[in-house]
């Protein structure tokens, strides 16, 4: 059994476990859904940060763009494109009765369109930003997300800084919407895991690793590095756009700085989670996301406002003392679990 | 936006105001960018907490002014002293452990530091914008028959900025310690062989950078506004300036800082302050692409 198939089976097991957990503890269903969102965030970050060595601090931009695209499409389906401005300027005072089928149709169409638009954005931005290397890429992307957030918050048509509220899911049973978003995130994260772990096991993944190890040499070996880099960013952007679209519907109200482009929450979490789990590994982001989310949810509320200070300290501690992450340290001790063959030094073996 | 541009042609004297605004901005940017160029050149550290050190210095000035009634100008040396020791502590606790690791490690560690400083200021002093009021601020210069008003404190601020910069450059060029810092920047290993304690030099460099940031923050608090979350924009500005100028190029840093300042002076007045970050990031992208195109000819990349 190949390692890829084994990983898929394990992930299917985790998914089934999560479904059972969600059925047993329906009160925590939103928490588990957000946990799968975290897994998606960490995995998509790792495709650049871990596999390709391009440490982005601005991947969260696609999350926000996806959220806005999907929301605007859903509103436009109800009111037509001309009615969007009217709806957003009314800032939530327009309430509408919507049928369940229409809602679901709008949500899935919006999410799909969000993914496509994000891919286009990644293609265009990638042509410029992926030319920058190392620290310039990190700072450039950080600036990019800040600038986009600023532009969105002064764009009246999409509700500017005040944000916009979305139609509410029409359900008699209040737990039904929670279940819907839970299954959406579960499905996206499963597809994301399957796709990313497949793509990193192919030639494409090897090319990304070559770019990480030495970009100049990779280019000299005939790898068209910019194409690979942009493609990898497009893959991440697609899944981030989908996740953002669903998250917009889940939170029902979107706003540029805190919800759509949360640079210091999700934008930093995704880096921390991937580093905690071990970057550049298939399981690292998943493990990191699960552990980080559980720690965060159990301790966050007790820190009385000092949670952001704690987050900063956590980043510093992980970076300084725990650079390899959980899976990275495991790979060092048990390389055969990861399919890494270590050739024994013949001289050492003989002595 | 169009009104702003029309105004430029109707009243050419507003150009003088925008350029003056730009020079006031630029003098502050130059100071913090010089600090970044120093740590970048000497210890190859890309400090993302640069802007937050600036804001922290500004908050010290504001606190001394509002709590003890000290004149902000007098607090400048005090703030520089405090920030020097703050920088030393930051070096020992964080920076020391990451300077020999790969670039992203140090970048992320300083980003974590930036988060800590930013959120700490937010918790202690609150998220409101603040400014340190000076006795000097009352007097205003009137130019062009009262069309342009320049508060005296800004002129004093630029003079103070120049004094700090000249003192710093003299220290780097003339003193024995400055020589050691420059030697370490050129070749750390050779400097070590020559008997320079490079670890101490690194600590000193980072502390000096922190003190410079403190001074520039004190000037920001006097001349403009401070807010806990303004830091990141100052960091990006410093990067824009250092990237445009290159390392170890003092006239370049000053020119680039004034250029960015004038650009922002125009942009703020024409587009409005809500596009501030966009302008800075746009400048960053333009500078990076321009350097990339130039390096392409030599088949080199910006690492």
Tell the residue number behind the tokens 């806990």, with chain if given. B228
C-alpha angle with apex A136: A135 to A137, nearest 5 degrees? 90
Which H helix or E strand runs over B7?
helix B2-10
Nearest-by-Cβ selection for A136 from B101, B112, B288: B288
ipTM reported for the complex surpasses 0.90:
no
Query: A217: which chain B residues are within 8 Å (Cβ-Cβ)?
Result: none
Contacts of B70 (CB under 8 A, 6+ apart): B64, B78
Helix (H, G, I), strand (E, B) or coil at B148: strand
Contact B113 A131 (CB under 8 A): no
DSSP label at residue A338: G
Burial of B48 by CB count in 10 Å (0-12 exposed, 13-18 middle, 19+ buried)?
buried
Q: Suggest the residue from A315, A318, A324, A328 to mutate for an interface test with chain B (most B CBs closer than 10 A).
A: A315
Domain span holding position A137: 3-350
Backbone angles phi, psi at A329, to 5 degrees: -70, -35
In this predicted structure, what is the pLDDT of residue B137?
A: 56
Helix (H, G, I), strand (E, B) or coil at A6: helix
Burial of A171 by CB count in 10 Å (0-12 exposed, 13-18 middle, 19+ buried)?
middle
Residue A103 to residue A188: CA distance in whole angstroms = 19
Q: Which residues pair with B143 in a beta bridge?
A: B148
Nearest-by-Cβ selection for A133 from B115, B280, B301: B301
Residue B52 to residue B191: CA distance in whole angstroms = 31
Is the pLDDT at A101 greater than 70, yes or no? yes
More confident residue, A25 or A120: A120
Q: Long-range contacts made by residues B170-178, C-beta under 8 angstroms, separation at least 24?
A: B177/B204
Kindly state whether A134 is in contact with chain B, defined as any CB-CB distance less than 8 angstroms.
Answer: yes
The size of the A-B interface in CB pairs under 8 A is 121
Nearest-by-Cβ selection for B119 from A154, A309, A323: A309
Backbone angles phi, psi at B143, to 5 degrees: -125, 155
In this predicted structure, what is the pLDDT of residue B144?
A: 66
Query: A55: which chain B residues are within 8 Å (Cβ-Cβ)?
Result: 104, 107-108
Lowest mean pLDDT among A186-200, A233-247, B204-218, B272-286: B272-286
Mean pLDDT to the nearest integer, A275-290: 88
**Domain spanning B2-297, CATH architecture:** Orthogonal Bundle (1.10)
In this predicted structure, what is the pLDDT of residue A282?
A: 85
Residue A276 to residue A279: CA distance in whole angstroms = 8
- What is this structure's pTM? 0.88
Q: Which residues pair with B226 in a beta bridge?
A: B130
Q: Suggest the residue from B98, B104, B118, B227 to mutate for an interface test with chain A (most A CBs closer than 10 A).
A: B104
Residue B210 to residue B52: CA distance in whole angstroms = 10
Residue A191 to residue A184: CA distance in whole angstroms = 11
Kindly state whether A295 is in contact with chain B, defined as any CB-CB distance less than 8 angstroms.
Answer: no
Q: Suggest the residue from A311, A319, A322 to mutate for an interface test with chain B (most B CBs closer than 10 A).
A: A319
| Residue B167: other Cβ atoms inside 10 A | 11
Mean pLDDT to the nearest integer, A326-344: 75
Cβ pair B76, B216 in contact under 8 A: no
More confident residue, A139 or A329: A139
Q: Across the 303 residues of chain B, what is the mean pLDDT of every consecutive 10-residue run?
A: 74 80 88 91 89 93 87 88 94 88 83 90 87 70 70 84 90 91 90 90 94 92 87 90 84 90 86 82 89 80 66
Query: B289: which chain A residues are within 8 Å (Cβ-Cβ)?
Result: 128, 131
Number of domains in chain A: 1
Q: What is the CATH number of the domain that holds A21?
A: 1.10.3470
Contact B281 A136 (CB under 8 A): no
Instruction: Give the pLDDT confidence of B109-162 residue by residue, as tens digits.
Output: 898 899 899 988 998 888 888 887 776 656 667 766 666 777 778 888 888 889
- What is the dihedral sign for C-alpha B243, B249, B250, B255? negative
- Where along chain B do its domains lie? 2-297
Query: A323: which chain B residues are within 8 Å (Cβ-Cβ)?
Result: 101, 105
Q: pLDDT class for A92, splitting at 50, 70, 90? A: low
Nearest-by-Cβ selection for B281 from A57, A143, A311: A143
Minimal CA separation from A264 to chain B, in Å: 8
Is the pLDDT at A348 greater than 70, yes or no? no
Minimal CA separation from B301 to chain A, in Å: 8
Contacts of B73 (CB under 8 A, 6+ apart): B134, B136, B156, B160, B222
Contact A133 B112 (CB under 8 A): no
In this predicted structure, what is the pLDDT of residue A190?
A: 93
Residue of B nearest to A146 (CA): B277
More confident residue, A333 or B280: B280
Backbone angles phi, psi at A214, to 5 degrees: -160, 105
Contacts of A197 (CB under 8 A, 6+ apart): A4, A7, A8, A282
Tell the residue number behind the tokens 């989908």, with chain if given. A242
Contact A138 B119 (CB under 8 A): no
C-alpha angle with apex B93: B88 to B98, nearest 5 degrees? 105
Query: A267: which chain B residues are within 8 Å (Cβ-Cβ)?
Result: none
Instruction: Give the pLDDT confidence of A20-43 residue by residue, as tens digits.
Output: 988 888 888 888 999 999 999 999
More confident residue, A268 or A87: A268
Helix (H, G, I), strand (E, B) or coil at B40: helix
Contacts of A107 (CB under 8 A, 6+ apart): A70, A74, A245, A246, A249
Contact B278 A305 (CB under 8 A): no
Kindly state whether A143 is in contact with chain B, defined as any CB-CB distance less than 8 angstroms.
Answer: yes
SS (H, E, C) A103-139: HHHHHHHHHHHHHHHHHHHHHHHHHHHCCCCHHHHHH
Query: A319: which chain B residues are within 8 Å (Cβ-Cβ)?
Result: 98, 105, 108-109, 112
Instruction: Give the pLDDT confidence of A259-270 residue by residue, as tens digits.
Output: 888 887 888 888
Mean pLDDT to the nearest integer, A319-330: 81
Residue A260 to residue A243: CA distance in whole angstroms = 11
Query: B301: which chain A residues are within 8 Å (Cβ-Cβ)?
Result: 133, 215-216
């Amino acid at each position: 059994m190949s390692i890829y198939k084994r990983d898929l089976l394990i992930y299917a097991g985790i998914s089934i476990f999560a479904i059972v957990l969600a059925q047993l503890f329906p009160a925590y269903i939103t928490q588990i859904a957000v946990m799968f969102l975290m897994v998606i965030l960490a995995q998509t970050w790792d495709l650049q940060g871990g596999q390709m060595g391009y440490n982005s601090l601005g991947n969260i931009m696609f999350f926000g763009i996806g959220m806005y695209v999907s929301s605007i499409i859903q509103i436009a389906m109800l009111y037509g494109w001309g009615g969007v401005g009217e709806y957003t300027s009314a800032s939530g005072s327009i309430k509408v009765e919507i049928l369940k089928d229409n809602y679901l149709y709008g949500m899935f169409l919006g999410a799909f369109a969000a993914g496509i638009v994000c891919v286009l954005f990644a293609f265009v931005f990638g042509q410029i930003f992926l030319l920058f290397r190392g620290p310039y890429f990190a700072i450039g992307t950080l600036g990019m997300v800040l600038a986009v957030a600023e532009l969105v918050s002064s764009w009246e048509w999409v509700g500017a800084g005040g944000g916009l509220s979305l139609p509410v899911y029409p359900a008699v049973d209040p737990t039904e919407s929670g279940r819907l978003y839970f299954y959406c995130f579960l499905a996206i994260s499963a597809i994301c895991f399957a796709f990313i772990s497949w793509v990193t096991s192919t030639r494409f993944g090897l090319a990304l690793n070559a770019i990480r190890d030495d970009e100049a040499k990779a280019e000299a070996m005939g790898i068209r590095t910019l194409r690979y880099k942009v493609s990898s960013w497009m893959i991440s952007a697609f899944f981030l756009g989908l996740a953002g679209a669903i998250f917009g519907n889940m939170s029902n109200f979107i706003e540029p700085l805190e919800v759509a482009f949360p640079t210091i929450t999700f934008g930093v979490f995704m880096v921390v989670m991937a580093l905690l789990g071990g970057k550049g590994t298939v399981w690292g982001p998943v493990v990191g996301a699960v552990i980080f989310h559980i720690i965060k949810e159990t301790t966050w509320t007790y820190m009385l406002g000092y949670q952001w200070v704690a987050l900063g300290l956590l980043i510093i501690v992980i970076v300084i003392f725990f650079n390899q992450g959980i899976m990275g340290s495991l790979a060092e001790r048990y390389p055969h679990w990861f399919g890494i063959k270590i050739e024994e030094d013949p001289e050492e073996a003989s002595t | 936006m169009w009104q702003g541009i029309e105004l430029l042609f109707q009243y050419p004297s507003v150009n003088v105001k925008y350029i003056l605004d730009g020079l006031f901005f630029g003098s502050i940017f130059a100071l913090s960018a010089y600090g970044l160029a120093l740590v970048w050149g000497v210890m190859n550290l890309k400090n993302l907490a640069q802007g937050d050190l600036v804001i922290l210095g500004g908050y010290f000035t504001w606190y001394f002014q509002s709590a003890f009634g000290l004149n902000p100008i007098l607090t400048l040396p005090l703030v520089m002293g405090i920030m020097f020791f703050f920088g030393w502590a930051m070096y020992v606790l964080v920076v020391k452990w990451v300077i020999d690791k790969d670039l992203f490690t140090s970048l992320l560690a300083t980003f974590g530091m930036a988060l800590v400083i930013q959120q700490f200021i937010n918790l202690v002093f609150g998220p409101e914008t603040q400014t340190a009021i000076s006795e000097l601020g009352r007097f205003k210069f009137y130019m062009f028959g009262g069309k342009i008003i320049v508060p005296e404190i800004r002129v004093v601020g630029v003079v103070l900025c120049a004094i700090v910069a000249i003192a710093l450059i003299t220290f780097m060029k003339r003193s024995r310690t400055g020589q050691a810092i420059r030697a370490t920047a050129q070749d750390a290993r050779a400097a070590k062989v020559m008997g320079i304690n490079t670890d101490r030099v690194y600590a000193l460099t980072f502390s000096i950078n922190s003190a410079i940031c403190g001074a520039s923050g004190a000037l920001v608090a006097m001349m403009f506004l401070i807010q806990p979350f303004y830091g990141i924009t100052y960091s990006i500005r410093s990067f824009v300036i250092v990237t445009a100028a290159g390392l170890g190029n003092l006239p370049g840093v000053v020119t680039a800082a004034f250029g960015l300042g004038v650009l922002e002076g125009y942009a703020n007045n024409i587009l409005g302050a809500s596009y501030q970050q966009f302008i800075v990031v746009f400048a960053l992208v333009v500078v990076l692409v321009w350097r990339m195109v130039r390096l392409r000819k030599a088949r080199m990349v910006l690492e």
